[in-house]
Structure 1
Amino acid sequence: MLKPFKYLVAVVGVSLAALTAQGAQATEYKEHVMGAEDAPVTIVEYASFTCPHCARFANDVFPGIKKDLIDTGKVKWIYRDYPLDGVAVRASAVAQCSGDDRYFGVLELLFKSQLTWARSQDPIEGIKQVARFAGMDGDAVDKCLADEELINGIVGSRLEAEQKYNVNATPTFLIDGKTYSGEKDVKFFADKVDDLTN
């Protein structure tokens, strides 16, 4: 069941007033983009690292999308965080701190190993192990997890999604200004791209 935004704010310990005052995103937080800047179609994905549907999509469907639509120059893919809980916020922070060159690799590692770390007795330690496997320094990871501005930005990404695009589940996709919730297959995206480009 999706936790309400106020619950997430309470668990993570960020201030809703601070988020409202600074806008939806803090300066440290950034969305990540894959594909050609001038691709004819832009698709935005909202996902949570603790969402099993998101992991299944990332592991089973996204490789086909990357091969058929992103690598061929048809689609620019934008990944935005929509954390469902405090653990997802921490996983997002670690991915953000991995750097632009490693971001999508860390994202892939987190989703591939989700069943291991997300269900462990200490999921934060599990996230740290994934980060170390990705070559991130332990002290840097600890600093990242304590970065309030970054945490506010990640939670703000969810707030913006709810307020601007009526996102209320993960994964959710924005295609040509329309919102589509739930898992989709490669054909769904290929058909949408064909409709928009023909």
Structure 2
Amino acid sequence: MKPTALGDRVLGKADAPVTIVEYASMTCPHCAAFHAETWPALKTQYIDTGKARFIFREFPLDPLAAAASMLARCAPEDKYYDMIDLFFDHQREWAYTDKPLDALQNMAKQAGFTQMSFEACLTNQKLLDGINAEKDQALSKFGVNSTPTFFVNGQKLVGEQTIESMGKAITDAAAKASK
């Protein structure tokens, strides 16, 4: 599960016994539901306590999802997960409108982007290529073909997960890691 050249943005302690990798699309309603319903408990109970660390990897299903992923990557590194949360929390307000780029731009401005930095980010071909390489690796090497897809110490979980299913996977992975 090595990262591509794009690199990973990791939440949690480096020495956590369990690593959770999520592949998600910013326009995926199931991904947004996971981040609304399961993510807060997962973060509080497992990531903030050092039981697991979390890696979000981009798997855009359309150009609009790629644009949102690019904007999150262009934000300061310590604001990356804040941007992911912002885009998922307000997905209906930007992903399903007549002018989605205007809505994304308004959200990005709230996060400190200027018109110039917004445009520079969305025209950064190297960044787009990196995000696409991450998606290609997930498809070809890890068998990801839908979002969200999670790997908990390598165990694949497909689809929106509850805190109970994530907790079981983390507990099982931690038990295997301690052997």
**With structure 2 as the length reference, what TM-score do the two structures score?**
0.93
Which amino acid counterpart does residue 174 of structure 1 have in structure 2?
Answer: F
Provide the residue aligned with 1:102 in structure 2. Answer: 79
**With structure 1 as the length reference, what TM-score do the two structures score?**
0.84
Question: Unaligned 5+ residue runs, structure 1?
Answer: 1-23
Following TM superposition, by how much is the alpha carbon of 1:66 offset from its aligned partner in structure 2, in angstroms? Answer: 0.2
Q: Please, which of 106, 117, 125 is the counterpart of residue 140 of structure 1?
A: 117
Following TM superposition, by how much is the alpha carbon of 1:189 offset from its aligned partner in structure 2, in angstroms? Answer: 1.4
Q: Please, which of 69, 87, 98 is the counterpart of residue 64 of structure 2?
A: 87
In structure 2, the CA distance between the partners of 1:30 and 1:137, relative to structure 1 (3 Å rule), is farther
> Number of matched residues?
173
Superposed structure 1 runs of 4+ greater than 4 Å apart: none
Cα distance in structure 2, aligned partners of 1:85 and 1:196: 32
SS at match of 2:23: strand
Q: Please, which of 105, 108, 119 is the counterpart of residue 128 of structure 1?
A: 105
Cα distance in structure 2, aligned partners of 1:132 and 1:197: 41
| Same amino acid, percent of matched pairs | 38
Provide the residue aligned with 1:3 in structure 2. Answer: none
Provide the residue aligned with 1:194 in structure 2. Answer: 171
Which amino acid counterpart does residue 178 of structure 1 have in structure 2?
Answer: Q
Which amino acid counterpart does residue 28 of structure 2 have in structure 1?
Answer: C
Which amino acid counterpart does residue 16 of structure 2 have in structure 1?
Answer: A
Compute the RMSD of aligned alpha carbons: 1.2
Provide the residue aligned with 1:157 in structure 2. Answer: 134
Provide the residue aligned with 1:59 in structure 2. Answer: 36
SS at match of 1:102: helix
SS at match of 1:101: helix
Residue 149 of structure 2 contacts residue 159 of structure 2 at CA under 8 Å; is this kept in 1?
yes
Provide the residue aligned with 1:48 in structure 2. Answer: 25
Which amino acid counterpart does residue 61 of structure 2 have in structure 1?
Answer: L
Question: Unaligned 5+ residue runs, structure 2?
Answer: none
Provide the residue aligned with 2:144 in structure 1. Answer: 167
